[in-house]
Structure formats: C-alpha cells, structure tokens
C-alpha cells in the first residue's frame, strides 16, 4: 500500500473519529473527558471501530490534549488532537508532513436540549448516557463506561460520516496506565511541514 493511499485513508477517517469525540463531549466542558470530569493524565491501548474500519492505537491523554499513534500497513501515523486550541493534525513522521484537519461541528446545534443520564455501579464504574432531545424524545448519542478516576474504558456512539449518513461506532481502552505524560508528545515535531486542509 502506498504512502499516499495510507495518508488519504487516515485523513478521511479522522473527521469521523473527531465527530464521534465531539458528539461524546457535547454535554461536557471542553477540559472534561468522555466521563464528564477532569480526566487524569494517562496512556492506554485503544481500539476504535467506526464506518466499517477498525483502528488500534496507543493513546496518551493530558488535560485537553490527545495523541494517538497508529500503525497503518506497517507505516506509523500520529493523530494529534488539541481540543482546547481547536486544532487537529495527522502527522507522518517519516515523510515529515503534518496535515491540518478541519475540526467538525456536526453535533447537535447549541440550542438543542441535551442531558447526561448516569448509572452508578457497585464496582465503582459509572455508565453515562449522552442524549439530545428531538421531537420531544430523548435520542442516545453515546453510552460510556467510566472508571472511578474518570478514565473511559469503553463507549458506543453514533456519528455522521462525510456524506451525512448516520454510523455507529465503539471504543475500548485496555492497558491503562495513569500517570504524567511528557508535554512534548502533544507538540508538532519541529521538522514537519504543516499542510492546510
């Protein structure tokens, strides 16, 4: 598989993933994670399935920043999300290119009524249902299982693909390690050229 094909595939999938995250966070503050409270810094192995594709990545989270390293066809790609800055990049370290990704805004409109319904488990897990109101009915956006420390373990969600079709997806995280994450992991490498969307 060529570099251009791998890069194109990652670029096309990125808005889907970002839209899913935007939907999952629609009812929570910017600095809060999927579990609705400030998430501790952590690293994990993440598997995401959406739009007929499955991605396994190593993820690092610190505050409102997220980095995912993926191996696509034997080629390393880095997906950097800087939520607080409204910026997102796909980085190809081998080719020294960073593609800027448009941050999607295709979640429910700001005047849409939203809510979070929480179920507390005896084992310390919390299940959060993010919902929005449509025609007097509550519609599920996502269901998220959260540890007591605020780290997500799994999530199912709905999102819109680039053709505005509804797609479902799921995320799971394993090998979670809570602890400080080096700040330079969330910086663009100085030797990359940034390309506009």
pLDDT one-digit tens code per residue, 46-58? 998 887 888 889 9
pLDDT one-digit tens code per residue, 136-170? 899 888 899 989 888 999 999 887 776 777 788 89
Q: What residue ranges define each of the domains in the chain, with the CATH number in brackets?
A: 3-195 (2.50.20)
DSSP E strands in 63-165: the ranges are 65-72, 75-82, 87-92, 97-100, 114-120, 126-134, 137-146, 152-160
Q: How long a stretch of residues is the chain? A: 197
* pTM for the model: 0.76
């Amino acid at each position: 598989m060529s570099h251009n094909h791998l890069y194109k595939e990652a670029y096309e999938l990125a808005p889907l993933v970002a839209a899913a995250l935007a939907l999952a966070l629609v009812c929570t503050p910017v600095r809060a994670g999927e579990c609705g409270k400030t998430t501790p810094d952590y690293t994990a192995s993440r598997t995401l399935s959406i739009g007929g594709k499955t991605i396994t990545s190593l993820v690092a989270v610190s505050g409102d920043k997220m980095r995912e390293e993926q191996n696509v066809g034997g080629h390393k790609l880095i997906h950097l999300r800087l939520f607080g800055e409204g910026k997102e990049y796909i980085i190809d370290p081998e080719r020294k290119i960073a593609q800027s990704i448009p941050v999607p805004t295709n979640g429910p409109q700001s005047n849409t009524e939203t809510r979070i319904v929480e179920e507390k488990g005896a084992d310390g897990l919390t299940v959060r249902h993010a919902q929005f109101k449509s025609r007097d009915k509550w519609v599920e956006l996502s269901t998220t299982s959260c540890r007591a420390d605020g780290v997500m373990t799994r999530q199912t969600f709905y999102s819109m693909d680039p053709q505005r079709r509804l797609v479902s997806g799921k995320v799971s995280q394993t090998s979670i390690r809570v602890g400080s994450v080096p700040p330079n992991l969330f910086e663009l490498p100085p030797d990359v050229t940034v390309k506009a969307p």
